[in-house]
Chains A and B, each alone.
Chain A
Amino acid sequence: AQSVSQHNHHVILSEAASLELGCNYSYGGTVNLFWYVQYPGQHLQLLLKYFSGDPLVKGIKGFEAEFIKSKFSFNLRKPSVQWSDTAEYFCAGGGGGNKLTFGTGTQLKVEL
């Protein structure tokens, strides 16, 4: 069965701290992986995606993620977070046709 799990449900960081949010997937065959962000009061937006090729993927707003096939992981990173990064972050996976399986989400709070 396809599944995506996120390790951290709530994360609190100070501004300028580094961020790493964990995501593991369980998929058979080809997998496409995504990170979405939901800012307070806004709808889901795509941060970055991995389909194939370079396992280090760069997204918007300074975020990046690394696909490690041997660990079934796709962790999200940012070297220095800002207060405006406060949001809920979702990892998602999908096979062909874009039917996404989401993790439960990580609520990130960045304190000034």
Chain B
Amino acid sequence: ETGVTQSPTHLIKTRGQQVTLRCSSQSGHNTVSWYQQALGQGPQFIFQYYREEENGRGNFPPRFSGLQFPNYSSELNVNALELDDSALYLCASSPISGEQFFGPGTRLTVL
């Protein structure tokens, strides 16, 4: 059984640029959630996708957007990057109300 994978592992961008992060969910899981983990903090919920539709959103501005594909993989897009967007971005997949399985994360640095 393949776990949750994320790409890339590390990324460096400059302010104002746009970034796309990718997540492949675990086999059989139809829900993907994205979290932002700033240094020294716990993960913060960004949004969740269920069967290709957004299914809840945390306190993040609209420049954070996402997609889920028919195979349940997902993308997180961030436009107009700011310095404070530097963080570890975590993806978790699950059945809609089951245990979430986390990927290793993508470390984004914004200069």
Contact = CB atoms under 8 A, between A and B. Distances in A.
B68 interface: no
A68 interface: no
A43 B97 contact: no
A102 B96 contact: no
Contacts of B104: 42-43
Given A97-B55, A98-B96, A98-B97, A43 B103 contact: yes
Interface residues of A, number: 20
Interface in B22-41: 31, 33, 35, 40-41
Interface in B16-74: 31, 33, 35, 40-45, 48, 50, 55-56, 58
Contacts of A49: 99
B41 A44 contact: no
A98 B43 contact: no
B33 A98 contact: yes
Contacts of B92: 44
A102 B33 contact: no
Interface of A: 4, 36, 42-46, 49, 90, 92, 96-105
